[in-house]
A and B are shown apart, each in its own frame.
Chain A
Amino acid sequence: MQNTLQQPEFVQLIQEHQALIHKVCSLYGNSVPDREDLFQEIVIQLWKAYPKFRGDSKFSTWLYRIALNTAISGLRRKKNNISFLEPEKLPVNIQEETYDQRQEEQLQKMYAAIRELSEVERALVMLYLEDKSYDEMEDILGINQNNLRVKMNRIKEKLRKLTNQ
């Protein structure tokens, strides 16, 4: 049984990094209930793994691994898709800003395009958007840097085509 003394410390860390979990959920969840389930599952997995966290890597790296592993895992049961261009699928800060109509459309297109990528590609995009270095990406995903760079270029090209369609 985990020490209850660890709970406040854990909750504090999750509070500090909560945005990361929300962003993973927004990229991998198909609907509001699915994203809520995914959020819960990630927190449960983080809590289960927390006693073994020794600080060998950054907390955020450790968190990304768990969040992405939980989201990507082929064994996760997903709740059905509702609609692809649901506005709430955009991370909320993006929704709240005021853009002109055209820019808003482009943002929605880009977000929809990202969701058309494979799970692995979406993970890469997420880390890229989070400004992670290729070193960190390699540490989280386990893909070597040369491969990552090539993949990233291909993804950018793919997204460009998808958003220009």
Chain B
Amino acid sequence: MELEHFKDLWPKDTVKGQKQDEYLLSLIGKRSNSPIAKMKRNLRWELIAVIVLYSIGIVYYFFAFGGKMIEISWFMIVLGLLFVAYYLRKNKLLNEMQCVTCQVKSHLEKQLGTLEKYIRFYLIAGNLMFPVTMLIVGYIAIVIYPAKLNDSRSIWNSEALQQLAVKYLLITIVISFVLYFVNRWYVNRLYGRHVRKLREMLNDMEEQANT
């Protein structure tokens, strides 16, 4: 059968199974179930959870133990601010990812470009989070606290603490290295197929007439 023949049989203005007004009105109030909308909602929940949990932690360590562990509060404030920056960047990229009113080709280009930026950002943030956290925790635990709790013993005069610091650094480096590969594998598993699919569709659209 030729496509022209199929075209003659193709329904033009109406199809059966038309939805009623009430049904359409009920859809208007619904939330989008697109993966991008879900990612935005999850990100918002993540932000709320971080704000609530970190606020409790910050207040606790600010007053607990007579204020001796106040550094932990500052550490959590720094991490909280970094998370807010992470949230803003991710939210901006997710907003840019969808342009449903654009021409199909520019929508796909936009989606691919933004998704690649999103993946890069995800990888960088994911790879930095572990070593940065470990270094700050190590600094508090190995450098600040021994000196605070026992004036005669600090990293500058204790061989045991120096050895501990070296071991701690080595472990951090090794785990960070392993995590880099785990992160790459995970990001590829999450988004790799979508990126390949988008590229494929764009290639299909960009295919030149003389090829």
Contacts and interface: CB of A to CB of B under 8 A. Distances in A.
Interface of A: 7, 10-11, 14-15, 18-19, 22-23, 37, 39-41, 43-45, 47-49, 52-53, 62, 65-66, 68-70, 72-77, 91-94, 96-97, 106-107, 109-110, 118-121, 123, 125, 128-131, 139-143, 146-147, 149-151, 155-156, 159-160, 163
B18 interface: yes
B3 interface: yes
Interface of B: 1-3, 6-7, 9-19, 21, 24-25, 27-28, 30-36, 97-108, 111, 115, 194-195, 197-198, 200-201, 204-205, 207-209
Contact of B104 (A7, A68, A93): A68
A15 B111 contact: no
A118 B201 contact: yes
A53 B36 CA distance: 22
B205 A141 contact: yes
Contacts of A72: 104, 108, 201
Contacts of A110: 1, 3, 6
Given A15-B24, A120-B205, A143 B105 contact: yes
B209 A150 contact: yes
